[in-house]
Amino acid sequence: MTQTETTGVTGYETQRTDLKPVYRWIFELGAVCLVLFYLHSAGFGSASEQYHIGFYLLVTYVLIGFLYRCRQTSPSDRPSVLDMGLVACSIFTIGYWIVEYPDLATRAGNYNPLDIFVGAIAIVISFEVSRRTVGWALPIIAMIGILYALVGRSMPDAIAHKGFSMRRIIEHSFFNQAGVFGIMANVMATYVILFIFFGAFLEKSGVGQFFINLPMSIAGRSTGGAAKVSVMTSGFFGSVAGSAIANTVATGTFTIPLMKRTGFRPHVAGAVEASASVGGQFLPPVMGAGAFLMAERTGLPYSQIALLSIVPAVLYFLSVWVMVHCEAKKHGLERISAADTPKLFPLLKSGWYYLLPLITLIGMLIAGYTAYKAAFFAILVTIAVSYFRPETRLTPKRIWEAMVSGAKNSLAIGGAVGTIGIIVAVIDLTSLGRIFPELVLDVAGTNKAIAILFLAAASLVLGMGIPVTAAYLITSELAVPILTTPEMGISIIAAHLIIFWLSQDSNITPPVALGAYAGAAIARADPWKTGWACFKFAKLLYIMPLLFAYTHILFTDGTPLEYALSVVSAVVGTIVFSMVTMGYFVRKTHWYEWIMLAVAAFLAYIYNIWTFIIAIVLIAIVYILQKRSEV
């Protein structure tokens, strides 16, 4: 199982899987040091900034040099000369930043030639590790950004700026807090990496299998039970996995064949798993890296962001659940056999303790502990729980393997961190974060829907080449100022959630649809058909941002009555919207019934009491029409 984000196969194609023993031991030792350092920081207090962030980037870059080949023709069993050059340059540049950190602060704005030289090399190194792990798209975007910063005076008036020298760009990208060592690196080193480690320990402890058996016992015998098991399993596992693609691969190896055996078409089985796995990015406690980034960007407590995200996440899973139910009813698909379905109470009796790591994590977050402290204790509880059964015990050997796996899983997104920081630094330096909102507002005016449509398109295009977390961070840098203007009137947390949800679309929307393609590979289905089926099942991804903008579903304003009405309306609207998407209610819908249900869904989403009543009446009429035709 892979707990990382990636935007293509580039990183996987260039990974070395057969390192010679001496190089494998060096790699594993570095990986274990990375894990132990951040476990110690989480449990006993973080080191100073220069070591906390610097050590993360240094070890990550070095490990990438060992694990990822420069190109496919490079040796697969040992680092090449170019790889060792990358390792050496990483140690030199980031080590320089760590050692010189106090002096760099005192000579800020008056850096010497060696400082600038080191900064230039570090930027090139950041581009290279990004290219190896997530492909060319991210470095190319960063290089275009640097070019834009250099020639700002020659750009069209709408996006022109005064222009900056290469020296100034290097200073801002490497030494400024907005650059390589900026927010993305800090969030990864402080929060995300610990949850990636947590996922690796869960995998080695056997808890992941329990998260599959539990949904089987609850929903396995219902209509479309295999797909509903997929939805629930992806929710359980995705809430801590941190990556939609990793979730698809980890749970899909079981759920997709199960769906196919009960009659789901291969491309539908792959699409259901991928759609459900995307939902794990919205469901607390982890939410990928999004919740931690939002906490840093908004200044709101992580616990508040996680709490506000529960209802939208549940609505997403409800939507996929209703769609797979309709799919199963429409095609008369089989249920899972009783022999293959574990009983709920015996399962809980024999394995209830497997829930303890997740309960520990959620309980500590609710109690107000920091996310990294909660992750630290959740890992300890996972190790303790593993000893309840001999076959799951995390022996020293398996703990070592879990640490190596966790560190390896962190490298793909870790390789992108420096380049993301450079892009953010360029946006900050050139004031593009001010220019872009003005351009969008000129077109959208005060229309929230049009603005969100523009941002959805921008996020989709950006997400085609870079990890979704990077797409969220970069898009939010440009888009949040648009959505939070007085003309739009959207709260800052709603604006960030809008961008965060939209940033996931490259996982399920062709032509990229990376999560869908991962599901298609397991299902042995047509990737293109799987991608479009995934787009259908995950369609609420595009509805929820509108609810954030127009309703009180986040309870950031309004009265408790307005919030309750918004939630009830959203539940009804989501159920009906899902039926409209599938063209099925009690039976397949006729065109006029479909129109009535579509109008009902729209009216239900509007949180006015009268539109809600009209929606209920329309739903009742269609229900009566369909029940009568069945007689």
Tens digits of residue pLDDT in 217-227: 888 788 888 88
Burial 155-173 (b: 16+ CB within 10 A, else e): eeeeeebeebeeeebbbbb
Instruction: Supply the mean pLDDT for the chain.
Output: 86
Please tell me which residue, 306 or 167, carries the higher pLDDT value: 167
Report yes or no: 27 and 19 within 8 Å, Cβ to Cβ: yes
The three-class DSSP label of residue 3 is: coil
Nearest to 247 by CA among 480, 507, 439: 507
- Tokens standing for 165? 């020298």
Angle, to 10 degrees, between the axis of helix 302-331 and the axis of helix 540-550? 140
Give the global pTM: 0.77
d(CA 214, CA 494) in angstroms, rounded, equals 33
pLDDT at 415 over 70: yes
Nearest to 462 by CA among 449, 479, 448: 479
pLDDT category at 65 given cuts 50, 70, 90 is very high
Q: What is the pLDDT of residues 503-561, one digit of tens each?
A: 887 777 776 666 787 788 788 888 888 888 998 999 999 899 999 998 888 877 777 88
Report yes or no: 424 and 470 within 8 Å, Cβ to Cβ: no
Dihedral over alpha carbons 11, 13, 19, 24 (to 10 degrees): 20
Q: What is the pLDDT of residues 32-57, one digit of tens each?
A: 999 999 999 998 887 888 899 999 99
H-type helices in 190-282, by residue range?
193-205, 207-219, 225-241, 244-261, 266-279
Q: Choose the most confident range, by mean pLDDT, from 27-41, 135-149, 196-210, 389-403.
A: 27-41
Which of 98-102, 293-297, 315-319 has the least mean pLDDT? 293-297
Across the range 403-407, mean pLDDT stands at 93
Which residues make Cβ contacts (< 8 Å) with residue 222, sequence separation at least 6?
228, 335
Q: What is the pLDDT of residues 326-373, one digit of tens each?
A: 999 998 887 777 777 888 888 888 888 888 988 898 788 778 787 788
Question: How do the domains of the chain map onto residue ranges?
Answer: 1-140+172-197+411-428, 198-410, 558-631
pLDDT at 515: 78
Nearest to 42 by CA among 198, 194, 240: 194
DSSP state of 540: H
Q: What is the pLDDT of residues 2-14, one digit of tens each?
A: 444 444 434 545 6
pLDDT at 582: 94
Instruction: State what percent of residues in the chain have pLDDT above 90.
Output: 39
